[in-house]
Amino acid sequence: MTEKQEVALVVGAGDAIGSAIARRFAQEGYTVVAVRRNGDKLQSLVSEIEAAGGNAHGWSVDARDEEAITTLFARIESEVGPLAVTVFNVGANVPMKILETSSRKFSKIWEMACFGGFLTGREAAKTMLPHGKGTIIFTGATASVRGAAGFAAFASAKHGLRALAQSMARELAPQNIHVAHVVIDAAVDTQWIRENFLVHKQDRPEDDIVQPSSIAEAYVQLHRQPRDAWTFEMDLRPWVETW
């Protein structure tokens, strides 16, 4: 019987960072399971990975739905292969003045950016522990370490996600599960950023904003680390960013 490839799961496989992470782990030889709320948007990513000789699945999953997340991990183990890497990459970067933030909006942002991370991290740990190894990576942001004006809900959720990752890292490291948190403290090169922030900038260097592929490379490096030198928190920024 042919042994199944190990699996890299990307929860929140958006068009930029999440897709780049999926492509990079596929290049490493992992079967990729990419999920987002609108799974139909993943077909082009799956086709691209398969055309390059990799294996990929694109499914619809809402990271806030406990039953859906539990089912996701069970399905991976039963239908795809042993889980080796889980990346939680759900966004929820919604600017909103505090006087305009309703309790419903606050709760929804927290559910996406923090509660979804808890559900994903918990089920990843449950799934990896019997294998005796694994890597769980949470995508953070500037808001993970400092709250800006107009981002109270997002910052509180990202702070919470970082605290969750810290606690999980301390609890799971002795059981050979590497938990890491990545602070992306910069604009990411996406079509929206180019159209809204860079269109009026002339003579700018191409590497003044972070590329999704560069972020993906950092995630693979985290997964490769030997456990005598595990990184918990990695801070990514281009050379033009101030600290």
- Nearest Cα neighbor of 32 from 61, 3, 55 is 55
Q: Are 36 and 59 in contact (CB under 8 A)?
A: no
**Mean pLDDT over the full length of the chain:** 93
Q: Angle formed by the axes of helices 17-27 and 212-224, to 10°?
A: 50
Q: pLDDT tens for residues 92-141? A: 888 889 999 999 999 999 999 999 999 999 999 999 999 999 999 999 99
- pLDDT: which is higher, 1 or 158: 158
pLDDT, position 239: 86
The pLDDT of 171-187, averaged and rounded, is 94
Tokens of 204: 């700018």
Q: pLDDT tens for residues 28-62? A: 999 999 999 999 999 999 999 999 999 999 999 99
C-beta neighbour count of 204 within 10 angstroms: 10
- pLDDT: which is higher, 240 or 137: 137
pLDDT, position 128: 98
The pLDDT of 75-102, averaged and rounded, is 94
Dmax of the chain from CA atoms? 61
pLDDT, position 200: 61
Distance of CA 85 to the CA centre of its chain: 11
Is the pTM higher than 0.85? The answer reads: yes
pLDDT, position 192: 66
Domains of the chain by residue range: 7-236
Q: Are 182 and 175 in contact (CB under 8 A)?
A: no
Q: pLDDT tens for residues 4-25? A: 899 999 999 988 999 999 999 9
Question: Predicted confidence band at 1 (pLDDT cuts at 50, 70, 90)?
Answer: very low
- Nearest Cα neighbor of 116 from 48, 70, 179 is 70
Domain 7-236: CATH architecture, name and number where available: 3-Layer(aba) Sandwich (3.40)
- Neighbouring-strand partners of residue 177: 134
